[in-house]
Amino acid sequence: MMIEAKNINFYYGNFHALKGINIAIPANTVTALIGPSGCGKSTFLRLFNRMNDTIENAKLTGECLVNGQNIYDKTVQVDALRKNVGMVFQKPNPFPKSIYENVAYGLKVNGVSDKKYIAERVEQSLVAAALWDEVKDKLHQSAFALSGGQQQRLCIARALAISPSVLLMDEPASALDPISTSKIEELIHGLKEKYTIVIVTHNMQQAARVSDKTGFFMYGELIEYSDTKKMFLNPENIQTQNYITGRFG
Amino acid sequence: MKHTELEIQELKIQVKQMWNLVIAQLSKTKIALLENNTALALEVISQEKRVNAYELKIESDCENYIALYSPVAVDLRLALSLIKVSNTLERIGDFAEGIARHTISQECKTIDVKIIEDLGIEKMIDIVLEMLLDGYIAFETENTKLTEKIMSLDIQVDELYKNGFYILAEYIKENPLETMCALRLIIILRKVERIGDHCNNIIEDIVFYVDAEVLKHNNKTSLK
Amino acid sequence: MFSKNIQQKIAFHIFRLLSFSILGVLVWILGFIIYNGIQVINWEFITAFPKEGMTEGGIFPAIIGTIYLVIGSMMFAVPLGIMSAIYISEYASNQKWVKFIRIMTNNLASIPSIVFGLFGMALFVHTFGFGDSILAGSLTLGILIIPLVIRTTEEALKAVPESYRLGSIALGATKFQTIKNVVFPIAFPNIMTGIILSVGRVSGETAPILFTVAAYFLPKLPQSIFDQAMALPYHLYVIATSGTDIEASKPIAYGTAFVLISIVLIINLLAGWIRRYFEKQNPK
């Protein structure tokens, strides 16, 4: 199992945001997390690269394992963890630097200085993010010159450059138009050969299209977690059925 | 190609494989029947399980495809027609198996070859085989120009069936001892005629998929 | 009473009148100084030393002194102000403490500048023994503008969207790398604007340099940071109030005022230009 959660409870102050979550996500799969707003799916996603660390009054119990290692263990260095567990955000957030510098950034902050190696990784990452052909002639132009969809693929390339094994995506296509969305989905589908991907999405069709496994969250609980095919054809739980058929709420 | 398109391709390939299998079954049945070849008939009967397995597989793959990809327009029509086409092909496979079972029955060893020629069973089976193949071509090329031909072939099959009915009635009167055999023959004729009807249904499903037109239950002569 | 549309019209006219009158005052002041000052402006005025008890000659040492003071105070205030601002807005986790620091800097900003002058004299001139010197004057001016630098830097940092920080942290960057490589470069144009505005402030202040550096007249340029220096605002003040011959040096006073205003104006324009330039480089 690439990612495992064992009896996770998470609190924002007095608010019990995640309630006893257990999940085991195999390597080289795409797992979609769906559920209504405020159900805890994003909070859960952020546990795995410890993006919740800076939140005040937050409390976590239980174990989060990545590759068998409890990532909240005291011996774990958080920046090393984040190098291994990349993240792509809802809104494309390229830095105000050139396309090249954006992709090279992660390598540089992690102490890579071999220019030849950086150049290789930049190209490989842009190829992997299906962006190379569109930007290879303007690598040194500002990343802001790209369209929203291209920017998001640049952010994916940026995350891939530091060779993570896990990629967390927080609604990566919700700010994009349908064509860009479908490109991102296609990309996600192709990336699972090398990476383990967990994607939070509001779009159930998107979850169905891109994922192998789906987890349904509601009120901080993981209601159902199973193969996407099974979830969308024959969900076990009546709440899941009500949600995915649009009868909920 | 996008992975959703690959899924569709995969589905289409399966349906074509099933189609080829059913055509092979029917061809073998024809030879088994005409040449009284028991071994071949047994082969057809044993292969029927494969046809059924194809139907189940295609049906569940179509369900998954619809559940996961929420297809619309041409993709939706394709998924719906594939379910129906695979059902129909399975029925055709059943008929072929049924004919093969009649072939191996021991009751008609003495029947004379002439009556089989008079009935034109070979011609009938050839026609439905042609319909099945034309349907396959229409599906593969996504072109419905063969529709009219298939429908007129079905009319020919119906005519042959009606004629066969009278011929066998005469035959029973003249050879009352062969009544059992004659009844078996009428059942075989009936099955071939049903295969023709099913081929007709298949082309209707393909027209629905390719042209988004509903031909079902229309007066066939109104076809343009 | 009047209908609401008429009320609106009346209100608009009053507002317009008031804003035009403010503009009028500004134009009047500028016009007055430019008209009187431009008559004495020539190459010699800018490059020569004062002569004849400052009734003739130029203001060269005052210009140079002001430049030294600007550079000196910036060298002190900019790093200190920026670092404090980064600490307050990026690092400090104790919000009560941050609030306290913020109130204190705001208080510092509202202290009259003459108090800074006295404080500078007591601390730098006497306690530290720097004497009346560019060093003492620069430090005093630096303290005066630190609140301004802190506040503008803090605003500039706050304006950087959180998503950039998260994006950088998520790539395994430390907080310091994030600030150095991402947050600061994005905030830089706004910080720069704040710094330039404080340059304008420094070059125009009289009171803080009064007891710490400014000299009435020096026959030569300052040689080290421990020398006294002349400065434009103070020069203007002395020739207008306590010169050897106030009437005779009046044109010189207008000329000095003209130069001072021009410097401040140019600096403000420069600030705007730099901000626009960087905004073009980094569209948000």
Question: Which DSSP string do the residues of C99-136 spell out, in sequence order?
Answer: HHHHHHHHHHHHS-HHHHHHHHIIIIIIIS---SSHHH
Please return the burial class of A67, using the count of CB atoms within 10 Å of its CB with bins 0-12, 13-18 and 19+.
middle
CA–CA min distance B21, chain A (Å): 28
Dist. CA C251–CA C65, nearest whole Å = 21
Q: Is the pLDDT of residue A107 over 80?
A: yes
CA–CA min distance B66, chain A (Å): 9
CB A101 within 8 A of CB A119: no
Q: In what order do the strands lie in the sheet with A30-34?
A: A85-88, A166-170, A196-200, A30-34, A213-218, A221-227
Do B69 and A209 count as a contact with CB atoms less than 8 A apart? yes
Please return the burial class of A161, using the count of CB atoms within 10 Å of its CB with bins 0-12, 13-18 and 19+.
buried
Q: Is the pLDDT of residue C227 over 90?
A: no
Do C283 and A144 count as a contact with CB atoms less than 8 A apart? yes
pLDDT recorded at residue C206: 85
Farthest-apart Cα atoms in chain C, separation: 73
CA–CA min distance B212, chain A (Å): 25
Note down the domain range covering A148.
Answer: 3-244
Give the CA distances from residue C95 to residues A13, A47, C101, in Å, rounded to whole numbers and listed in that order. 17, 25, 10
Q: Is the pLDDT of residue B220 over 60?
A: no
Do A82 and C171 count as a contact with CB atoms less than 8 A apart? yes
pTM for this model (two decimals): 0.79
pLDDT bracket for residue B114 (50, 70, 90): confident
Q: Report yes or no on A249 lying in a domain.
A: no
pLDDT recorded at residue C243: 66
pLDDT recorded at residue B184: 87
Count of CB pairs separated by less than 8 Å, A with B: 23
B4 in contact with chain A, both atoms CB, cutoff 8 A: yes
> Looking at chain C, which residue has its C-alpha nearest residue A80?
C172
- Token pair 């309630």 in the structure block, residue: A19
Q: Is the pLDDT of residue A92 over 70?
A: yes
CB A64 within 8 A of CB A72: yes
Segment A202-242, tens digit of pLDDT = 888 899 999 999 999 999 999 999 999 999 999 999 999 99
pLDDT bracket for residue C45 (50, 70, 90): confident
We report the CATH number of the domain holding residue A153 as: 3.40.50.300
Q: How high is the mean pLDDT of chain C?
A: 87
**Structural domains counted in chain A:** 1
What average pLDDT does this structure show over C4-9?
89
- Which of A93, A125, A168 is the best mutation test for C, with the most CBs of C within 10 A? A93
Dist. CA B51–CA B90, nearest whole Å = 6
Residues of C in contact with A110 (CB under 8 A): 171-173
Segment A121-146, tens digit of pLDDT = 999 999 999 899 999 899 999 999 89
Sign, CA torsion C91/C97/C101/C106: positive
> What tokens were used for C123?
């601390």
Among A164-168, B32-36, B84-88, B156-160, which is the least confidently predicted range? B32-36
Residues of C in contact with A109 (CB under 8 A): 168, 171-174, 177, 181
List of residues 6+ apart from C196 with CB closer than 8 A: C267, C268, C270, C271, C274
Give me the residue spans of the domains in chain B: 3-222
What are the beta bridge partners of residue A197? A30, A167
pLDDT bracket for residue B144 (50, 70, 90): confident
Helix (H) or strand (E) holding C35: helix C4-37
**What percentage of chain C exceeds 90 in pLDDT?**
37
Helix (H) or strand (E) holding C51: strand C50-51
Dist. CA B14–CA B65, nearest whole Å = 14
Do C182 and A79 count as a contact with CB atoms less than 8 A apart? no
pLDDT recorded at residue C270: 85
> Looking at chain B, which residue has its C-alpha nearest residue A233?
B67
* DSSP states of A156-225: HHHHHTT--SEEEEESTTTTS-HHHHHHHHHHHHHHTTT-EEEEE-S-HHHHHHH-SEEEEEETTEEEEE
Among A51, A109, A155, beta carbon nearest to C172: A109
The strand ranges marked E within chain A are 3-12, 15-25, 30-34, 58-66, 69-70, 85-88, 166-170, 196-200, 213-218, 221-227
Q: Is the pLDDT of residue B83 over 80?
A: yes
CA–CA min distance A215, chain C (Å): 23
* Domain topology for B3-222: Methane Monooxygenase Hydroxylase; Chain G, domain 1 (1.20.58)
63-102 in chain C: CB under 8 A from chain A? 93
Q: Report yes or no on A228 lying in a domain.
A: yes
53-112 in chain B: CB under 8 A from chain A? 63-64, 67-70
Do A83 and C164 count as a contact with CB atoms less than 8 A apart? no
Segment C149-197, tens digit of pLDDT = 999 999 999 999 999 999 999 999 999 999 999 999 889 888 988 888 8
Segment B22-64, tens digit of pLDDT = 999 999 999 998 888 889 999 999 999 999 999 999 999 999 9
> Looking at chain A, which residue has its C-alpha nearest residue C184?
A96
What one-letter code names the amino acid at B111?
A: I
CA B199 to chain centre: 5
> Looking at chain B, which residue has its C-alpha nearest residue A204?
B68
Give the CA distances from residue A224 to residues A33, A171, B64, C24, in Å, rounded to whole numbers and listed in that order. 10, 20, 19, 73
CB C263 within 8 A of CB C48: no
CB A132 within 8 A of CB C203: no
Among A186, A190, A232, beta carbon nearest to B67: A232
pLDDT recorded at residue A249: 55
Q: What are A's interface residues with B at a Cβ cutoff of 8 A?
A: 182, 186, 189-190, 205, 208-209, 228-229, 232-233
pLDDT recorded at residue B223: 47
Segment A1-52, tens digit of pLDDT = 789 999 999 999 899 999 999 999 999 999 999 999 889 999 999 999 998 8
CA–CA min distance B67, chain A (Å): 6
162-191 in chain C: CB under 8 A from chain A? 163-164, 166-174, 177, 181-182, 185-186
Q: Is the pLDDT of residue C71 over 60?
A: yes
CA–CA min distance A55, chain C (Å): 11
Helices (H), C124-246: 134-158, 162-169, 175-178, 184-204, 207-210, 232-241
pLDDT bracket for residue C51 (50, 70, 90): confident
pLDDT recorded at residue C282: 58
Among A51, A110, A144, beta carbon nearest to C172: A110
- Exposure of C234 in the CB half-sphere (CA atoms within 13 A): 28
> What are the respective helix, strand and coil percentages of chain B, to the nearest 5?
85, 0, 15
What average pLDDT does this structure show over C232-253?
81
> C-alpha angle A218/A219/A220, rounded to 5°?
90
Q: In what order do the strands lie in the sheet with A58-66?
A: A15-25, A3-12, A58-66, A69-70
Q: Is the pLDDT of residue A153 over 80?
A: yes
List of residues 6+ apart from B194 with CB closer than 8 A: B91, B95
* Domain topology for C61-230: MetI-like fold (1.10.3720)
pLDDT recorded at residue C15: 95
DSSP 8-class letter at C170: T
Give C225 or B106, the one with higher predicted confidence: C225
Among A186, A208, A233, beta carbon nearest to B69: A208
Dist. CA C84–CA B33, nearest whole Å = 98
Helix (H) or strand (E) holding C50: strand C50-51
Q: Is the pLDDT of residue B221 over 50?
A: no
What one-letter code names the amino acid at B221?
A: T
Q: Is the pLDDT of residue B224 over 50?
A: no
Interface present between B and A (3 or more CB pairs within 8 Å)? yes
DSSP 8-class letter at C59: -
Neighbours of chain C (3+ CB pairs under 8 A): A
Residues of C in contact with A171 (CB under 8 A): none
Interface present between B and C (3 or more CB pairs within 8 Å)? no
Give me the residue spans of the domains in chain C: 61-230
Residues of A in contact with C283 (CB under 8 A): 96, 142, 144
| ipTM passes above 0.85 | yes
pLDDT bracket for residue B211 (50, 70, 90): confident
CA–CA min distance B8, chain A (Å): 13
Residues of A in contact with C172 (CB under 8 A): 79-83, 106, 109-110, 162
Other C-beta atoms within 10 Å of A199: how many? Answer: 27
pLDDT recorded at residue C284: 46
What one-letter code names the amino acid at B194?
A: R
